[in-house]
Amino acid sequence: MLKARQDDGKLIIALNGNITSANAPEVEAQVLDLLEKNPCQSLEIDCDQLAYSSSAGLRIILRLKKKVDDTVLTNVHPELYDILDMTGFTEMMTVQKAYRVISVKGCEVIGQGSNGRIYRIDPDTIVKVYLAPDSLPEIHRERELSRLAFVAGLPTAIPYDVVRIEEGGFGSVFEMLNAESYVDLLLTGEKSLDEVVEMSISLLRLIHSKIIRSDILPDMKVVALGWAEYLKDHLPADQADKLYSLISAVPEDDHLLHGDYHVKNILLQNGESLLIDMDTLCHGHPIFELASIFNAYVGFGLSHPYGMREFLGIPFASCVDFWRKSLALYLDTQDEDRINEVEAKAKIIGMTRIMRRELRRDGMHHEEGRKLIEICRKGLADLLPRVDTLEF
């Protein structure tokens, strides 16, 4: 006997066992009886206990879709999902896979991005656990971004599985045999800071060499203008206007940017650097990338330098050194005036982002938030009169 329940106007029917040509008429009769007794606008077919379905079972689903247009399949096991995908069902209706469950309890954190953490779950495998509990759309978007970057020629780790995390949420699984994060290379002394900076900038230049036009890539100029717009109520009018006009004047640019580039988001595997956090991919002028890098190594530690060790795993002084050497190498100069000039431009965008972020997170109501907001406020007041363009 099939099980069914109502959930806020949706009828959920749980299929079970095997559906073959022999029992398909009986199964369909039971489903139709449940529909008649429970009128609904949407129908969910839970396939968690469905071990097998022949083509007769698939025809039942098609007829149900015609009766209730908003019909979705959930907890579909991989073998059945592949059949549904191959036959075109996934294009006609929502089909949600069943996900195997894993635990990250006690696993080493080897990476940290803006939207997730990277855990090593065994010597050969890592998993990116997304911070948002309902992160499946985000996971599928990042998989698409990873594929886009991979096709463009970037050394990108491609996830091969999506899993449910026992402690909550979802994750993407990667095979990472013999892979070490850049920060691990620093901490073990396997590579010097100068060597890691050189590897990092070499990869960054490769990223920035790519021109990709895609609707799924955010335009960082548009994003940054949103930050400046938000601060109009929190800065003196002359500073707010100057900030907005500086960002507005940055040229349109289709060059690829990573968006969250730091030593915990890059692994070295058999001598090759691999990007493992692709959900922040975007396009725009490289000043926006440099602003993000400044924040990762310096900006977020301005009010609490010791917190950088918790975030990146290396002391704040090393973070500052890494940032300055990275900027010099990226600009291909040792001219301190030139380095300071571009750093000032990056700091303006970086502090704009941090200040807006802290204000939105109710930072004025706790000491560290107020301290960081004030640092950014003073920094912008100092920098804005001295900078006439964000280009370099």
The CATH number for 77's domain is 3.30.750.24
For residue 392, tell me if it sits in a domain. Answer: no
The model carries a pTM of: 0.78
What per-residue confidence (pLDDT) applies to 177? 67
For residue 322, tell me if it sits in a domain. Answer: yes
- pLDDT higher for 331 or 131? 331
Among 175, 204, 227, give the residue marking a domain's end: 175
Whether residues 82 and 205 share a domain: the answer is no
Whether residues 184 and 232 share a domain: the answer is yes
For residue 115, tell me if it sits in a domain. Answer: yes
Domain hosting residue 69, numbered range: 3-97
Whether residues 240 and 359 share a domain: the answer is yes
Q: What percent of the chain has pLDDT over 70?
A: 98
- pLDDT higher for 270 or 378? 378
What per-residue confidence (pLDDT) applies to 155? 92
* Rounded distance between C-alpha atoms, residue 337 and residue 181, angstroms: 32
- Does residue 291 sit in helix, strand or coil? helix
Beta strand 94-97 with 70-76 is parallel
- Other Cβ atoms less than 10 A from the Cβ of 11: the count is 22
CATH number at 132 reads: 3.30.200.20
pLDDT-based confidence at 41, cuts 50/70/90? confident
What per-residue confidence (pLDDT) applies to 113? 66
Whether residues 149 and 91 share a domain: the answer is no
What are 176's two structure tokens? 């990472």
pLDDT digits (tens, 9 = 90+) for 97-122: 888 889 999 998 877 666 788 898 88
Q: Are the beta carbons of 31 and 57 closer than 8 angstroms? A: no
Whether residues 200 and 145 share a domain: the answer is no
Whether residues 160 and 183 share a domain: the answer is no
What per-residue confidence (pLDDT) applies to 158? 76
For residue 307, tell me if it sits in a domain. Answer: yes
Handedness of CA 144, 150, 153, 157 (dihedral sign): positive
pLDDT (average), residues 25-43? 91
Among 122, 145, 175, give the residue marking a domain's end: 175
- Whether pLDDT at 15 is above 80: yes
* Rounded distance between C-alpha atoms, residue 4 and residue 34, angstroms: 7
What per-residue confidence (pLDDT) applies to 330? 98
For residue 193, tell me if it sits in a domain. Answer: yes
What per-residue confidence (pLDDT) applies to 139? 86
Whether residues 72 and 137 share a domain: the answer is no
Strand order in the sheet with 101-102: 101-102, 161-165, 170-175, 125-130, 116-122, 108-112
Q: What is the dihedral of CA 306, 103, 120, 296, to 10 degrees?
A: -30
Averaged pLDDT of the chain: 92
pLDDT digits (tens, 9 = 90+) for 172-217: 898 876 788 899 999 999 999 999 999 999 999 999 999 988 888 9
- Does residue 223 sit in helix, strand or coil? helix
For residue 192, tell me if it sits in a domain. Answer: yes
Q: Are the beta carbons of 304 and 367 closer than 8 angstroms? A: no
Among 75, 97, 119, give the residue marking a domain's end: 97
Q: Are the beta carbons of 19 and 57 closer than 8 angstroms? A: yes
What per-residue confidence (pLDDT) applies to 219? 97
* Rounded distance between C-alpha atoms, residue 181 and residue 188, angstroms: 11
Whether residues 161 and 275 share a domain: the answer is no
Whether residues 285 and 144 share a domain: the answer is no
What DSSP string describes 43-69?
EEEEEEEEEEE-HHHHHHHHHHHHH-S
Whether residues 73 and 121 share a domain: the answer is no
Whether residues 237 and 160 share a domain: the answer is no
* Rounded distance between C-alpha atoms, residue 355 and residue 231, angstroms: 8
Structural domains in the chain (count): 3
- Which range is most confident: 53-57, 155-159, 295-299? 295-299
Whether residues 272 and 379 share a domain: the answer is yes
Phi-psi region of 382 (alpha: psi -120 to 50; beta: other; left: phi over 0): alpha
What per-residue confidence (pLDDT) applies to 1? 65
pLDDT-based confidence at 379, cuts 50/70/90? very high
CATH number at 238 reads: 3.90.1200
What per-residue confidence (pLDDT) applies to 45? 94
pLDDT digits (tens, 9 = 90+) for 302-341: 998 888 888 888 999 999 999 999 999 999 999 999 999 9
- Which range is most confident: 55-69, 137-151, 288-302? 288-302
- pLDDT higher for 311 or 354? 354
* Rounded distance between C-alpha atoms, residue 390 and residue 259, angstroms: 17
**Start-to-end Cα distance in the chain:** 70
For residue 349, tell me if it sits in a domain. Answer: yes
For residue 391, tell me if it sits in a domain. Answer: no
pLDDT digits (tens, 9 = 90+) for 355-376: 999 999 999 999 989 999 999 9
